[in-house]
Structure 1
Amino acid sequence: MKSTKVDAFTQHTLSNIKPEVFKTLNLVQLEAIRQAISANAPFRQHPIDIRVALPLFFVKFYFVFLIGQDNRSDTRARESLRRTAVKGMMFVLILYGLVALSIPVIFFLLYAFKSLIGIDLFADRHLGDFL
């Protein structure tokens, strides 16, 4: 059951929709919007809700102490999936960057080793001639 604070917040938010847009909404859309607004309303009922503001000279501090049922598990699950996907993409990008940087280094080391041993792949030609 919704509280009056949530209903008032929902009604206030819906009243900010332009009238010409509001008229185009059907009942299913309007109810879906109401449910979405009510689910995210800032005025939820909690068994323990302590809010204190402390004015100190030029600054005002506040603290809020709430106890109630945690209804955020679905939101946290979505955030966790998003973080996992971002971590996977970052791993692929870092791996790609490391491979892209290591290939030229490996070729340079192989060329230096080849030159140190004295192996010529092309007679009378060197890397400086090709560049």
Structure 2
Amino acid sequence: MNNDIKDDPFVKGLLEKLPASDRESFSPDQLQALKIALGGRSWGTHVIDVRWTLRFWHWRYYFVFLAGRNRRELSRREVAISRFAMALLLSVFLVISTLVGLLVLYLIKSALGIDLLPGVSLGIWDWFKGSFK
């Protein structure tokens, strides 16, 4: 490793934040290790990045809303939660799709005048016809 690690923009910024007496105490290997440990973070590259400050009396509060693709390696627990959430979302989607499909079939049946159970009505067809008058 040579000294051009000190020319790296990340390392320059890091060294500027340190006291002058400590800047020269790092070896190139240590600077490289710090860059790998701290420099891998890509702050500010989110699809949605909303930041604002709210002043309330003598205090100021800041709020940050970030969203984007998760590039981190997930823990076992996070993987399990992600799978459960995906299964739940898929189940809700399938139930809603099935209910909408059954409603559409019922409305088509009623529009064609097909009466599967004589004398029994759910009232959906009457409501549907009445809502378009």
Same fold by TM-score, threshold 0.5 exceeded?
no
Q: TM-score, normalised by structure 1?
A: 0.38
When Rg is computed on C-alpha atoms for both structures, the one with the higher figure is 1
Structure with greater contact order relative to length (CA < 8 Å, sep ≥ 6): 1
Between structures 1 and 2, the one with greater helix share: 1
Q: TM-score, normalised by structure 2?
A: 0.38
